[in-house]
Amino acid sequence: MSVLLGSLIGYLNQYGKGTAGARTYALICCGATLVTLVSKYFFISLGKPWFADPGRLSAQIIPTLGFLATFILWFVESRAEWISIGVNMWLAALVDLIIGSGFGLRALLAIGFVILVLPLIRTAEERLRYRTAAQDKPTEKVEP
């Protein structure tokens, strides 16, 4: 489920002229889910789960992705458009933290919400760019 949802996020990103694709997001999602599952069940196997903090391992997913997104933004190309990669990776990891915690239906609802909202935001951005470009265009004077 995690790989499928990650692939879907990656496909939506590529469809919206993004740079990272389905494979990248499938790997991010699979990794986030695996870390969450290890975090959830590893301490139980020790026999005394009340002495451990199972959220400690999965809590490191978000800072790791923040570091990766910063690396991409800083070293590859420092353009504001690349910030969306970091945001998409963050969203993918959060959805897969939900899946790894055992709430698959809620993850599907979150992705469904994203699928509904992203095209609306993209359309609004395009209209705003078109309107701004039309207003910024200088008027030409025609001499007789």
Q: Given a cut of 70, is residue 19 above it in pLDDT? A: no
Read off the amino acid at residue 86.
Answer: G
pLDDT reported for residue 103: 83
CA gyration radius, the chain: 20
In 3D, which of 3, 22, 1, 4 has the Cα closest to residue 88? 22
Please, what is the Cα angle at 42 between 40 and 43, to 5 degrees?
85
> What tens digit of pLDDT does each residue of 29-52 get?
778 888 888 877 777 777 765 666
For residue 61, what pLDDT is reported?
79
Instruction: Provide the pLDDT for residue 6.
Output: 75
With bands split at pLDDT 50, 70 and 90, how would you rate the model's confidence at 118?
A: confident
CA gap 97, 89 in Å, rounded = 12
Q: Which two tokens stand for residue 78?
A: 């420092």
In the predicted model, is pLDDT for residue 143 greater than 80?
no
Residue 140 confidence (pLDDT) = 60
Reply yes or no on whether the pLDDT at 64 is more than 70. Answer: yes
Distance of CA 142 to CAs 7, 134, 137, Å? Answer: 54, 19, 15
Q: What is the DSSP letter of 19?
A: S
Of all residues in the chain, the percent with pLDDT exceeding 70 is 73
What value does the mean pLDDT of the chain take?
74
Q: What is the pTM of this model?
A: 0.62
Lowest mean pLDDT among 4-18, 22-36, 58-72, 129-143: 129-143
Residue 16 is predicted with a pLDDT of 60
Instruction: State mean pLDDT over 100-126.
Output: 81
